[in-house]
Amino acid sequence: MKKIGILTSGGDAPGMNAAVRAVALRALDEGLEVYGINYGYAGLVAGDIFQLTRQVLADKIARGGTFLYSARYPEFAKVEGQLKGIEQLKKFGIDALVVVGGDGSYHGALRLTEHGYNAVGLPGTIDNDIPYTDFTIGFDTALSTAVDAIDKIRDTATSHQRVFVVEVMGRGAGDLALWAGVATGAEAIVVPERDYDIDAIAKKLTEYREAGHDNAVIVIAEGVMSAQDFKAELDKHGDFDSRATTIGHVQRGGSPTARDRVLASKMGNYAVELLLAGKGGLAIGIENNQITHHPMEELFDEKHHADLDLYDMNNKFNQ
Ligand code: ADP
């Protein structure tokens, strides 16, 4: 193995740049050449590929987004698309790849491995929805952004004695809502992994108000419903002077937290070790604070499990 490529694919996440940098620096240290592939699999097929040098990488660790850009390219699910990508790998002499992305991106990486080009995957998404990893690259940064926003919303909720329903991202996963809810002392957390009881929530808010606790924050995951829809439901159960806020795409941006940068660096470093050992089709994770890997097929059969102990604990806090 002399040359490796790296691409970022699917939804972007803070810390992807730190991952690319780590892969490249470790590979350069091993005497390999490293190629950045722009726009995910779309750029691979188009041959939008350039050599990564220390100079290119110099200012990247602190930057949000992905300087390699990201794109969705459904054609890569078909063999013809994959073969076009492989033509480009041959043209550039790239022997192996690192893919930073989510579940869909891992499917592409596994196909390349099956075609004889070892590819390993790093979990890059703010949603934390990938199996066999306690945390994904970008989750911690998105969480910090959400917490910062909810703290601010709490200030105005307090001043005006209102109930705020705040929607956070996460696609089908409740992780961002669970962590952000606990971190901001939410009076209720609503996640796709658990049924919610609107009567119970409304009753609790009424009790709080009668006891003199006159503001509340409900954190809802986007995978359940919009903040607007939840507010409309809540309003049918009482006069809470409620407001709905969607934090939105600011959660996807920003300079990565130290934790995301370190996680990305450890995972990127390990990805190169796996490729050097001649391995591919593996997804890297962090489990119990250890960097681990699993065959991608195992991930596709497994579901991500949000930490629902957080949900139960928060409910107890609000009995
Ligand atoms: P994520 O990686 O965040 O789950 P997507 O599901 O959009 O995001 O996948 C990102 C890209 O991975 C797709 O645009 C496509 O290029 C590639 N991809 C997705 N599914 C497959 C598949 N079954 N086989 C090959 N490539 C795929």
Identify whether 202 is part of a domain.
yes
Percent of the chain exceeding pLDDT 70 equals 100
2: left (phi over 0), alpha (psi -120 to 50) or beta: alpha
User: Quick one: DSSP state of residue 257?
Assistant: P
Percent of the chain exceeding pLDDT 90 equals 95
Same domain, 129 and 14: yes
Res. 201 pLDDT band, cuts 50 70 90: very high
- Is residue 104 within 8 A of residue 10, CB to CB? The reply is yes
Average pLDDT over residues 293-316: 97
Q: What is the predicted pLDDT for the residue at 160?
A: 83
121: left (phi over 0), alpha (psi -120 to 50) or beta: beta
Identify whether 309 is part of a domain.
no
Task: Answer whether residue 264 shows pLDDT above 90.
Answer: yes
Which residue is associated with the tokens 């409740």? Answer: 174
Domain with 60 in it: what CATH number? 3.40.50.450
Same domain, 124 and 145: no
Residue type, 87: E
- Is residue 177 within 8 A of residue 126, CB to CB? The reply is no
Nearest Cα residue to 143 out of 174, 165, 122: 174
Same domain, 14 and 53: yes
- Looking at per-residue pLDDT, the higher value among 218 and 215 belongs to 218
Same domain, 286 and 216: no
Q: What is the pTM of this model?
A: 0.97
* DSSP run (H or E) holding 121: strand 119-123
**Number of structural domains, the chain?**
2
Same domain, 51 and 197: no
Task: Answer whether residue 304 shows pLDDT above 90.
Answer: yes
Average model confidence (pLDDT) across the chain: 97
Query: Ligand 1 centre from 93 Cα, in Å?
Result: 24
Q: What is the predicted pLDDT for the residue at 213?
A: 86
Atom of ligand 1 nearest to the CA of 103: 4
> Which of 253, 283, 314 is the last residue in one of the domains?
253
Q: Whose CA is nearest to atom 18 of ligand 1?
A: 104
pLDDT, tens digit (0-9, with 9 covering 90-100), for 158-177: 888 899 999 999 999 999 99
Identify whether 31 is part of a domain.
yes
Q: What is the predicted pLDDT for the residue at 287?
A: 98
Q: Ligand 1: which of 76, 79, 98 to mutate, most ligand atoms within 8 Å of CB?
A: 76
Task: Answer whether residue 289 shows pLDDT above 90.
Answer: yes
Identify whether 58 is part of a domain.
yes
Q: Give just the sign of the alpha carbon dihedral 76, 80, 84, 86.
A: positive
User: What is the arrangement of strands in the sheet containing 282-287, beginning at the earlier edge strand?
Assistant: 49-51, 33-37, 3-8, 96-101, 119-123, 282-287, 290-295
Domain limits for position 228? 139-253
Q: Is 95 annotated as a binding-site member?
A: no
Identify whether 74 is part of a domain.
yes
Q: Whose CA is nearest to atom 19 of ligand 1?
A: 104
Identify whether 310 is part of a domain.
no
Same domain, 27 and 128: yes
Average pLDDT over residues 90-94: 98
Atom of ligand 1 nearest to the CA of 71: 14
Nearest Cα residue to 286 out of 109, 106, 132: 132
What's the residue count for the chain? 319
Domain with 145 in it: what CATH number? 3.40.50.460
Identify whether 306 is part of a domain.
no
Same domain, 182 and 165: yes
Q: What is the predicted pLDDT for the residue at 101?
A: 97
Same domain, 93 and 130: yes
> Which of 253, 286, 314 is the last residue in one of the domains?
253
Identify whether 82 is part of a domain.
yes
Task: Answer whether residue 319 shows pLDDT above 90.
Answer: no
pLDDT, tens digit (0-9, with 9 covering 90-100), for 9-65: 999 999 999 999 999 999 999 999 999 999 999 999 999 999 999 999 999 999 999
Q: Whose CA is nearest to atom 26 of ligand 1?
A: 108
Task: Answer whether residue 214 shows pLDDT above 90.
Answer: no
Q: Which residues are catalytic?
A: 127
Q: What is the predicted pLDDT for the residue at 157?
A: 87
Take residue 305 and report the two structure tokens written for it. 């499990």
Q: What is the predicted pLDDT for the residue at 251?
A: 98
Same domain, 109 and 46: yes
Same domain, 240 and 273: no
Same domain, 216 and 119: no
Same domain, 171 and 63: no
pLDDT, tens digit (0-9, with 9 covering 90-100), for 64-79: 999 999 999 999 999 9
